[in-house]
Amino acid sequence: MNYKKLLLLLAVCCCWFPAAAQAVSGPTEQLKPTLDTLIEILLDPALKGEKQKAARRTKIMGYVTQKFDFREMSQRVIGREWKDLPPEKQDRFQVLFTKLLENAYIGKIETYSGEEIQFIGERIKDNRAIVSTQIENNGQWLPVDYIMIKKAEQWMVYDINIEGMSLVRNYMEQFKSILRRDKFDGLVKLLEEKNSTFE
Amino acid sequence: MISKKVFLFFLVLAFMLGPVWVIQADEAEGTVALPRDDRNKDLDIFFDAEDISDPFEPMNRVFFQVNDKLYFWILKPVSTAYRTVVPKDFRQCFDNFFDNVAAPVRVVNNLLQGKFAGAGIDLSRFLINSTAGVLGFGDPALITFGLEPRPEDFGQTLGIWGLGEGPYLCLPLLGPLTVRDSAGFAGDALLHPGTYVFSNPVDRAAYYSADKVNMISLHPDLYEDMKRYSLDPYISMRQFYLDYRRNKLLDRPVRSNVMINEL
């Protein structure tokens, strides 16, 4: 092996190892850039205002879907019945539920105006993790926890707890009650109706 | 803004309450840190089903509707009118006042749960805010001394003592509760100075309503947002309430949750 080849190998290693290290980085390190990008979009003056709403939402959802596992959320809110549903119904539900979360919660965070966010810790248990943050809100700290699951070295968010109140769990309980009464098709209809109220 | 005399008074108080303050500082780290492992043994923080007991659901749903009507027909119009007349700073002061009056509830329940540091902090808060805070309208205990309230109530005390949560209830005027929390509500009423100051139940109800209207005026959108984002508001409310109370029992960091207290 001559000198040049060795140098090339070294160069390749240098480029490759940081990438490999990043791929197995912890949940906090993986969540941070996503939130930073979200904040950037929310504070971007070019995307502010009602007129820019569609463009802003598309951009936000583009980033959010990389780190938020809406499939996992859909599966969890439906519960046991999920695996009995044909794939096209699963997909239809995922689209509607993602839209509901977008309407409800992106709408909420759009009022963000530079409040401080602190990362205060993480806990990992097997392939699941909880990343705790707090956000400044009218002089108080509002605890927001991201619950994540590791899929192919990627930590994906599948629930958000605000002040310890689980968002996905809340919908799961509602859907459980609706599924019992109106079955899956009734739930889909209700979701469609709900989403149309945000337009 | 603060006169010299008041400032001196602060200094003296700070000196007197120094030890309490140190305890508080130690504990404050605990509240920011993640929930301790031993507290979470029984509860899967990673989201697995927890039991919900709601055998009275049909009755609860009726009362939920009653409260909903009460909200839109009475509470909301009154608090909206009130909000337009009274500036926010004043309303915040009234909120502080109501909170300060209820201090005995927090102090005694901290004691009953063996949380002596917490009892000391809430007692200190009461003393500071009743004097330097002008009858509790201000909150210098928090702003100047960084003493955060340690809200404990009798429902939590009963939980610490090992009493189970019991079925979920949604009661007219009182809103979401569990059987344990309704016993807690009654217990706290006995500790509340208002019970003794107002001999007439109508006056007591007026005081209670004023507290609620003031609270809603400070957070006007919460209830309607919850309804807007949910497909079954009754269940959503029930879940928020149970999550909130279960977290409080475990002393996880939660702010006083206003939506729960509103209805």
Q: What is the pLDDT of residues B81-108, one digit of tens each?
A: 999 999 999 999 999 999 999 999 999 9
Letter string b/e over residues B166-205, b meaning 16 or more CB atoms within 10 A of that residue's CB: ebbbbbeeebbbbbbbebbeebbeebbeeeeeeeeeeebe
| pLDDT the model gives residue A10 | 58
Average pLDDT value for residue range A45-54: 81
In tens, the pLDDT along B238-250 reads: 999 998 898 888 8
Other beta carbons within 10 Å of B5? 8
**What average pLDDT does chain B have?**
80
In tens, the pLDDT along B45-81 reads: 444 556 889 999 999 999 999 999 999 999 999 999 9
Fold annotation for A27-193: Nuclear Transport Factor 2; Chain: A, (3.10.450)
Domain count, chain B: 1
Domain ranges of chain A: 27-193
Mark which residues 30-89 of B lie under 8 Å from A by CB. Answer: 32-34, 45-47, 52
B88-101 vs B201-218: helix axis angle to the nearest 10?
A: 130
Distance CA B91, CA B213 (A): 10
Average pLDDT value for residue range A143-163: 89
In this predicted structure, the answer to whether residue B118 has a pLDDT above a threshold of 80 is: yes
Evaluate whether B76 touches B216 at the Cβ level (below 8 Å): yes
Least confident range of A35-39, A108-112, A186-190, B194-198: A108-112
CA dihedral A156, A164, B35, A152 (to 10 degrees): -10
Helix (H, G, I), strand (E, B) or coil at A188: helix
Compute the nearest-CA separation of A15 from chain B (Å). 36
In tens, the pLDDT along A20-46 reads: 444 568 899 999 988 888 888 888 888
Among A102, A105, A155, A169, pick the best mutation site for testing chain B contact (most B Cβ within 10 A).
A169
Helix (H, G, I), strand (E, B) or coil at A59: helix
Query: B-chain residues within 8 Å CB-CB of A150?
Result: none
Quick check: ipTM above 0.85? no
Report the residue of chain B nearest A157, measured CA to CA.
B46
| pLDDT the model gives residue B11 | 39
Residue-number span of the structural domain to which B16 is assigned: 4-261
Q: What global pTM score does this model have? A: 0.79
Tell me the sheet residues that pair with A129. Answer: A124, A148
B229 near A CB under 8 A: yes
Smallest Cβ–Cβ distance between B231 and the set A123, A140, A194 belongs to A194
In terms of Cα–Cα distance, which of A150, A155, A133 is closest to A142? A133
**What average pLDDT does chain A have?**
85
Q: How confident is the model at residue B19 (pLDDT cuts 50, 70, 90)?
A: very low
